[in-house]
Amino acid sequence: VSNNLAADTETIVCDFCGGKDSTVFFVENGCNLTRCGNCGLLYVNPRPLSSQGFAKYSHEYTDYVEKYIQNKPIYQAEAKRRMEEVDSWASGGKLLDIGCADGTFLELAREHGWETTGVEPDEALARHAIDKSHLNVRICDFLDSRFEGETFHAVTASNIICHVRWPDRFFRETARILKKGGRLFLDTGNGAEIFARKEAEIWGEHWGTPDHLFHFSEDLLHRYMERNGLVVEKSDRIPLFSMLFSKDNLRLFKGSKLKSALKSALLAVPPLRLLIVTLFNLYYVRLKKSNVCKLRIVARKA
Ligand SMILES: [Zn+2]
């Protein structure tokens, strides 16, 4: 961690409730992840002043773009699941993907008949989407993107909200650019529901501080949406181990001979996979009282 970090930081109040009373929950990469004493939001405080370049303080950032492209199959699997959801709303229309990265999801949405636009602040990733996939992408922060009001039928934001500097403004802006009846798809972890040290350690390095500036609970996300005119229609909790043992994740897994054999067996015998996932979930959810999961929420503009 750079010694300059302290000099280039700002101290903020809670983005959700304006509270000033927060306590340190976790320290990672020299930054405090604090919990609001009033509403429970987890946020980095103090935090790096600018979103430009702060990610370099996170060790995960090394060769980020290269890694992103390498991991493309993971994002393609995620894109497929997201597409199924979005296609269930309408067959085409104007779609915006916030934080579209290299355009993996937008490419798929275009194939499915959607008129696609993306926003991506990382220039290298955005260039990839524009030059290689000929997608329509604005290279900027979503909060500076200034789309016309009531433009989109669908807005998606996968694993984005943790990085956003002002979540409340994010939801207000999303509601503004959605057409009446248009929908938002958002997914993220449930960090703010993690209270026990043990559970926090399941995530361990994955807090991604300070690259991830906020962690939410399901309830807080609903309240953020509702107070900005987005009505929650659907809210799913996907347990950690269901994700780890999903078919797509298993296919990508590379490991020792023994683990590879186990992987092949799990893929070949679906009931075996179901049994393993159930056992793991029972172990962690019932015995270890872990509720680490992924939140997947759909909200409609009122
Ligand atoms: Zn708060």
3-class DSSP state for residue 284?
helix
Q: Which of 122-126, 212-216, 264-268 has maximum average pLDDT?
A: 212-216
- Cα–ligand 1 centroid distance for 24 (angstroms): 14
Pick the more confident residue, 148 or 204: 148
Q: What is the arithmetic mean of pLDDT over 284-298? A: 79
Pick the more confident residue, 104 or 292: 104
- Cα–ligand 1 centroid distance for 37 (angstroms): 7
- Cα–ligand 1 centroid distance for 170 (angstroms): 16
- The confidence score (pLDDT) of residue 53 equals 46
pTM of the model: 0.85
Pick the more confident residue, 231 or 197: 231
- Cα–ligand 1 centroid distance for 168 (angstroms): 12
Q: Give CA–CA dist 70/102, Å, rounded.
A: 12
Structure tokens at 252: 């990508």
- The confidence score (pLDDT) of residue 247 equals 72
- Cα–ligand 1 centroid distance for 200 (angstroms): 20
Residue 139 vs residues 17, 101, 104, 297: alpha-carbon distances, Å:
31, 10, 16, 26
- Cα–ligand 1 centroid distance for 110 (angstroms): 39
Q: Give CA–CA dist 50/109, Å, rounded.
A: 32
